Every structure is written in structure tokens, then in C-alpha cells.
Amino acid sequence: MDRRRALKTTTVLLAAPVVATQLAGCTGRLKSFTTWKDGQQAVLELLFTPKVVQDNPWNLSQVIQHLAQSIEFSMQGFPALKGAWFRSSIGSAAFAVFNARGAMSHSLDEPIPGAPALDASQALKTAVQRLLDAMEAFAQFNGTLRPHFAYGELTKPQYERAHLMHLANHWTQFQAKTATA
């Protein structure tokens, strides 16, 4: 085994317990969105039963824009990628853990690296339509999917699962909007 491969293997093995420990508190169970249709329906329902976002400086429209960006970038290419070494080791290991658990956990207020800023003044209806359009485009997409900025190469079923887990993770911070007097 050459030195580079040995170092890579050792680093991945040492990092694995850290990744697993950090993921122990995963939220956003996939059971909330077991199919693409479930995800689309939940997004559409935001127009009729708006939510508020807790523990995040982003408003609901910004969260929805962020989710749309993620899906769009899976088809167009992410503006910035983590290094190839990261994507093929730590990133792919993180996706494997998320996939096995059926849940993702990530910083819910962290933008996608290199992505355009989220527009706090954008109407919810516009953001929801963008996300629904991105979801429909992804469902119909037959081209080559672009590497995820952290997880690396994913198949279409893997990307679909990642997107559903991403939706579910963000849905954990949504609460019913209460009427104010």
C-alpha cells in the first residue's frame, strides 16, 4: 500500500467515529417524505398552511429557495465543490450514514458553497413555485447528474433520497403559523 493510500485510509477510519457521533442526533426522518410525490405535496401545502421557521435566521421563503438551489445544482452543477479527496472519503461516508439511517442532519442555516444569496424579500408563492419546478425538472431529468458538493457522485435514486432527506431535515424546523390579533 502506498503512503498516500495508507494516509487516506487511516484518516477515513479515524474520522468515521467522529462522523457517526456527530450524526447520532439526526433529525428529519425520511418517513416524512418516502416518495418524491410526498415531498411535492408537502411543498405545495406551504401555500395553504404557511409555516414559520424556528432557530434559523432565514425566513420560510429563503429555506425554500435553498432547497430549490440544491435540486437545481444536482442537475446544473454546484458552484463550488469540496476537494475530491473529501468527496470520495468523508463526504461519501457521511452520505452512506445518512442513507442507512434514512435521515440527514446538517447546519440548517448554512448556504450551499458558492450559491447566490437567498432573497429574504421573495414572496413565498414564488419560492414554492421555484422548488416545485426544480422537483419536476429533476423527476424528468435524464441527463448526467453533477457531483454533489460534499457527497460526490450520486446516482439518480441516491440523489432523490438525498433531496428527500434534505427536505425532511429542514421540515423539522417548521412550525404552524399562528394567527395574530
Domain annotation covers residue 81: yes
Domain annotation covers residue 116: yes
Q: Is the pTM of this model over 0.75?
A: yes
**How far is it, in rounded angstroms, from Cα 16 to Cα 50?**
39
The structural domain count of the chain equals 1
Cell of 149: 458538493
| Residue at grid coordinates 456527530 | 22
Domain annotation covers residue 1: no
**How far is it, in rounded angstroms, from Cα 50 to Cα 129?**
14
Domain annotation covers residue 15: no
Mind listing the pLDDT tens digit of every residue in the chain (181 residues)? 443 433 343 334 334 433 333 333 334 444 578 899 999 999 999 999 979 999 999 999 999 999 999 999 999 999 999 999 999 999 999 999 999 999 999 999 999 999 999 999 999 999 999 999 999 999 999 999 999 999 999 999 999 999 999 999 999 999 987 765 4
Which domain, by its residues, includes 105? 28-176
Domain annotation covers residue 84: yes
Residue 161 CB contacts under 8 Å (≥ 6 apart), including other chains: 30, 99
**How far is it, in rounded angstroms, from Cα 90 to Cα 150?**
8
